[in-house]
């Protein structure tokens, strides 16, 4: 991924007042994604520039510039003219011996006026959205400013023109792939449903049937695992553009992490905040999805919308409105889409969490007898739509063609070839700490709460702890006996297991069992 | 101000998994308002609990608990079982020798589900708002979560019942003063207008005329100075409840910082984020204003709403809608209000910034010949309304009574007595660095942009640098000659002066001069 420093426009930046420090020190403090710069609290730089703790300031070394929060340290740690850098700041600026560090007030961010206008219900034009997205990609927005933009754009507050303009802005602020082919396939699932890891299976089938499917996926936004998180359990996914092209030329398809490609990078920055807030905005979701597809060079896209009371899309009306918005925005960009509205009343597959979902994918591809049949069926449904949209099969034959490709083992062979080209197939382990949640009574499973299952899997550590999550032991309408496991939590540490169990014990109805009369 | 630790409900907290550290070190790192805890990156606590950089975690010493962000340091700084604390974390927890530090995952914050519901347009009930405000006061919300709540509640998205419930929740989560008197006066100005520092003058007149006016004010939210910032230039404002009662008993009134009193403390926490985002939500504004008044024990309140194209309230319709909401919410709480809608087309007074506004206030109270007459007139207008609402004068006589009180020097004597009771009158200095902005042509002043003037004053350092800001050299409709100063920037450092000048040079029309024909 290009470092943030490369994308900051410094052309007009240094007419601003500034001060230089001749000494810079790597302090070895890991502050996560947030850049922090440290100065002595009696530093003349603070006095003359009016900097205080948590001021945001611009830090420049040579041509590289970042925005960082300021922390002040007690005398004795740093010389008065010395600047300390956090790990992320150091890695972005990588100062060389003898290079001077220039500190300045950050440029004022004029596009925030547009965010304020949006908060007050104004419609934003293309210029305003381009300015906002440009400033986000240039790392000029603080976390709370991004949170305000995301919130202001949530809850159906973007009209069609705004979604189109946002999509365009997100495409234009990143790299774009061009495959020089008339038909480049892609797929996307509007999440909210735990498990449901069809992509690796669909890509294997599409590629095996002669289509080009250079699939780039994201990490989880609000779910316990994204496709990239799951695929990373099976093969390397952080490919650069040359590696990705090689895999696609060799195998017809790939399953890579899109973030390594700088496609629509605004999305990757917004994702961190959306994940922390646990919200998605419909307009922003459509812009994110389509901008990634357009930037990745796709021409034909199948979009799966699972519908259920605890899925991201709750009912058919909402799904149709979303499908309509997707089609209208896609049409503006000449992108051909096929929308599938599917059953989202329960998770698809058994595992929830990166490694646990990877085990499900392997079982389906290998045609193992215990493979989750719901995942198999749904993957075939999506694959058939891809084959048909891409012209590799007719509407009549697409399902049987996909099915045969999987059952014959050809899809599995193709998947192994793809993994090998990406750097080698690997099989994930199992988490050391597990605990089952038993049925409270004899009865029938009447409801499964996707959101709370996802929350429990996340509290158990997914996706950061990749072996963590949970496995479903029952499905809707199954009959269970008292004490029979409903689901099993998996964790890599006892602390995380206890934390997830504490949540589960407070929410008895994650899986509802109704006493049979 | 009560430390945040006192307000965290720890009753159910420590059923959660946790780990203890026996050594704690004050690292002397000032991280501003954000608490940070430091651990060795190989600490077994991180491994067993799944903590990573920027995890939020609960830190407890004895009965005191805070939520803090985690930073990981390189080996050698801290022992593996040692915890480092930032300045704000250390001051909140003030660990004693031998006390153990307990680290745990933070409790899950269920009220965030209500924030998400609000983002998606749902109306929140009293229970939901109480839960949100309670969690905010207990410091359970991260900055981005507060930003999402503020944004979701902005742009007229709260209905009357929500504003009433929010007001009630904000009152109940803090202290409440009771004056045991039938008539306790207060006033408030819905900001947006630079300068306009009437409060000290109004309190002096009201107290002198026999009313009880225990005024508590806030620091600036989005402006270059709040009343508390300005008053702090003239006398100590950080009074505790006993000191405040003493001042009011002795003098009939006070002008104190409300934050020291723990009145509606949710507001003080939301203010920091609102200030950083530079937005106000109407419903939240009404809840903030009225909850502070109710908590302060006021029974009668005059509310001033300046209207102008660059004031907070832009037009008469908006002002009337706001006045209506204020009256309806106040009625629910039995609070008597009088709303004044006033001219907000230009700043009132000459100075903008804590010290510069304090100089204006002193000039008016002392009846100096160069005192800004617009500030004098507006203060008398508000004071007359206070006298009338409080029954100290009739509608016919209130203005002449107020005017006489000021002109006779009685208001100035009363103000000196109040300052003395608060700890002693002082007169602020002047900033060392000044620069005038000249008129670009001969002509007439046709418009003054309050927002950009405020922004320039803030860039010059106000309110953090209390002597900084700007002084207006002209008013609307005045005739000016080329090169004649329009306004003068004041700064405490050359860096801040240059920064403000850079902004001014990019925005030529802060004060519009039209060439006369």
Residue labelled with tokens 């972005």: A92
A77–B144 C-beta distance less than 8 A:
no
Distance from CA of A120 to the nearest CA of B (A): 4
pTM for the structure as a whole: 0.79
Contacts of B397 (CB under 8 A, 6+ apart): none
Give me the helix-helix angle, A143-152 and A126-137, nearest 10°. 150
Q: For residues B192 and B312, is the Cβ–Cβ distance under 8 A?
A: yes
Assigned token pair, A396: 């009549």
* B511-514 sheet: strands from edge to edge: B479-480, B443-448, B511-514
DSSP state, A372?
Answer: -
pLDDT of residue B166: 97
Mean pLDDT by 10 residues, chain B (517 residues): 32 48 88 88 70 81 89 89 91 86 83 93 96 92 91 90 97 94 95 85 98 91 87 96 96 91 87 79 89 96 93 89 96 97 92 98 97 97 98 97 98 98 97 96 93 89 93 96 97 89 87 88
Partners of A29 on chain B (C-beta within 8 Å) are: 38, 71-74
- Judged by a CB distance cut-off of 8 A, whether residue A156 touches chain B is yes
Please provide the DSSP assignment of A223-257 as one string: SS--HHHHHTTTS-----HHHHHHHHHHHSEEEEE
How close, in Å, is residue B237 to chain A by CA atoms?
22
Which residues of A are less than 8 Å from B41 in CB distance?
30
CA distance A218 to A359: 19
Distance (Å, rounded) from C-alpha B49 to C-alpha B66? Answer: 18
Q: How are beta strands A82-85 and A23-26 bridged, if at all?
A: parallel
Which letter does DSSP use for residue A3 in this model? -
Rounded to an integer, what distance in angstroms lies between the CA atom of residue B472 and that of residue A331? Answer: 55
- In chain B, which residues have their Cβ closer than 8 Å to the Cβ of A147? 143-145, 147-148, 151
C-alpha separations of A142 from A33, B21, B143, B458 in Å: 12, 33, 11, 19
Spatial distance between the Cα atoms of A335 and A333, rounded to a whole number of angstroms: 5
Q: Among partner residues B41, B105, B148, which is closest to A147 by beta-carbon distance?
A: B148
Distance CA A360, CA A199 (A): 12
Taking the C-alpha atoms of residue B124 and residue B114, their distance in angstroms, rounded to an integer, is 7
**Residue A423: what pLDDT?**
97
Q: What is the DSSP letter of A473?
A: -
Measure in Å the smallest separation between the Cα of A48 and chain B Cα atoms.
5
> Best of A147, A280, A432 to disrupt the B interface by mutation (most B CBs within 10 Å)?
A147
pLDDT in the model for residue B290: 95
The residue of chain A with its CA nearest to that of B463 is: A50
Give the E-state strand segments of A137-258 in sequence order. Answer: 185-189, 213-217, 253-257
Laid out side by side, the sheet with B336-343 consists of B185-189, B300-307, B336-343
SS (H, E, C) B152-201: HCCCCCCCHHHHHHHHHHHHHCCECCCCCCCCCEEEEECCCCCECCCHHH
CB contact under 8 A, A17 and B495: yes
- CB distance from A31 to chain B under 8 Å? yes
Residue among A40, A135, A268, A280 flagged as catalytic: A280
Residues B36 and B86 sit within 8 Å (Cβ to Cβ): yes
Q: How far is the C-alpha of B6 from the C-alpha of A281, rounded, in Å?
A: 37
Q: Tell me, what's the pLDDT at B341? A: 95
Residue B284 contacts A, CB cutoff 8 Å:
no
Closest CA to A277 of B50, B35, B154, B116: B116
Q: Are A464 and B52 an interchain contact pair (Cβ–Cβ within 8 Å)? A: yes
A contacts of B273 (beta carbons < 8 Å): 144
Nearest-angstrom CA–CA distance, A334 and A422:
30
For residues A86 and A68, what is the distance between their CA atoms, to the nearest angstrom?
Answer: 9
Question: Do B262 and B1 touch, CB atoms closer than 8 A?
Answer: yes
Is the Cβ of A29 closer than 8 Å to some Cβ of chain B?
Answer: yes
A151/B147 touch (CB, cutoff 8 Å), yes or no: yes
Burial class (CB in 10 A: 0-12, 13-18, 19+), B330: buried
3-state class (DSSP) for residue B23 = strand
Question: What is the C-alpha to C-alpha distance for residues A303 and A327, in angstroms, rounded to an integer?
Answer: 10
In 3D space, the residue among B210, B237, B179, B257 whose CA is nearest the CA of residue B414 turns out to be B210
By Cβ distance, the residue of A50, A494, A502 closest to B496 is A50
Is residue A280 annotated as part of the catalytic site, yes or no? yes
Q: Which stretches of chain A score pLDDT less than 70?
A: 1-19, 44-45, 47-50, 192, 221-222, 517
The alpha carbon of residue A154 is apart from the nearest alpha carbon of chain B, in Å, by: 7
Give B-chain residues touching A119 at CB under 8 angstroms: 151, 154-155, 279
Residue in the block written with tokens 């999305």: A267
At B8 the pLDDT is 29
What b-and-e string marks burial along A401-423, b requiring 16 or more CB atoms within 10 Å of the CB?
bbbebbeeeebbebbbbbbebbe
Residue B120 to residue B125: CA distance in whole angstroms: 15
Q: Is B72 on the interface with A (CB under 8 A)?
A: yes
Interface check B154 vs A, CB under 8 A: yes
State whether B142 and A276 contact (CB < 8 Å).
Answer: yes
């Amino acid at each position: 991924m290009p470092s943030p420093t490369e994308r900051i426009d410094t052309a007009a930046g240094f007419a601003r007042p500034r001060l230089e420090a001749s000494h810079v020190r790597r302090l070895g403090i890991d502050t996560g994604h947030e850049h922090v710069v440290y100065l002595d609290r009696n530093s003349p730089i603070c006095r003359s520039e009016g900097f205080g703790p948590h001021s945001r300031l611009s830090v420049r070394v040579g041509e590289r510039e970042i925005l960082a929060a300021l922390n002040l340290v007690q005398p004795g740690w740093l010389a008065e003219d010395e600047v300390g850098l956090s790990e992320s700041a150091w890695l972005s600026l990588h100062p060389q011996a003898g290079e001077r560090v220039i500190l300045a007030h950050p440029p004022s961010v004029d596009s925030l006026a547009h965010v304020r206008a949006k908060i007050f219900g104004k419609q934003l034009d293309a210029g305003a959205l381009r300015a906002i997205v440009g400033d986000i990609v240039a790392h000029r927005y603080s976390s709370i400013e991004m949170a305000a933009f995301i919130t202001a754009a949530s809850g159906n507050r973007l009209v069609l023109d705004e979604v189109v303009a946002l999509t365009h802005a997100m495409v234009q602020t990143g790299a774009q792939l061009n495959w020089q082919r008339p038909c480049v396939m892609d797929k996307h699932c509007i999440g909210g449903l735990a498990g449901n890891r069809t992509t690796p299976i669909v890509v294997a089938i599409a590629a095996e049937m002669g289509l080009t499917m250079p699939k780039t996926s994201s990490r989880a936004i609000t779910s316990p695992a994204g496709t990239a998180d799951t695929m990373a359990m099976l093969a390397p996914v952080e490919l650069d553009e040359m590696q990705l092209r090689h895999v696609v030329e060799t195998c017809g398809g790939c399953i890579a992490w899109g973030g390594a490609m700088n496609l629509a990078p605004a999305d990757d920055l917004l994702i961190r905040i959306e994940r922390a807030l646990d919200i998605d905005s419909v307009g922003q979701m459509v812009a994110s999805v389509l901008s990634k597809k357009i930037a990745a060079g796709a021409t034909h896209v199948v979009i799966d919308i699972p519908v259920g009371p605890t899925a991201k899309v709750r009912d058919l009306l909402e799904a149709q409105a979303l499908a309509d918005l997707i089609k209208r925005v896609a049409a503006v960009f000449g992108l051909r889409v096929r929308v599938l509205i599917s059953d989202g009343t329960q998770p698809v597959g058994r595992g929830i969490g990166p490694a646990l979902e990877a085990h499900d994918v392997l079982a389906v591809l290998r045609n193992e007898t215990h493979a989750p049949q719901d995942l198999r069926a749904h993957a075939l449904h999506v694959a058939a739509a891809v084959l048909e949209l891409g012209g590799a099969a007719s509407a009549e034959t697409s399902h049987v063609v996909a099915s045969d490709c999987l059952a014959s083992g050809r899809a599995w062979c193709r998947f192994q070839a793809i993994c090998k080209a990406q750097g080698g197939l690997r099989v994930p382990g199992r988490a050391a700490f597990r605990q089952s949640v038993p049925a409270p009574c004899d009865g029938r499973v009447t409801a499964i709460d996707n959101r709370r299952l996802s929350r429990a899997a996340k509290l158990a550590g997914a996706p950061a702890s990749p072996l963590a999550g949970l496995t479903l032991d029952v499905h809707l309408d199954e009959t269970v006996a008292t004490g029979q496991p409903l689901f099993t939590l998996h964790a890599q540490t006892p602390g995380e297991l206890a934390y997830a169990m504490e949540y589960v014990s407070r929410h008895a109805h994650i899986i509802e069992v109704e006493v049979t009369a």
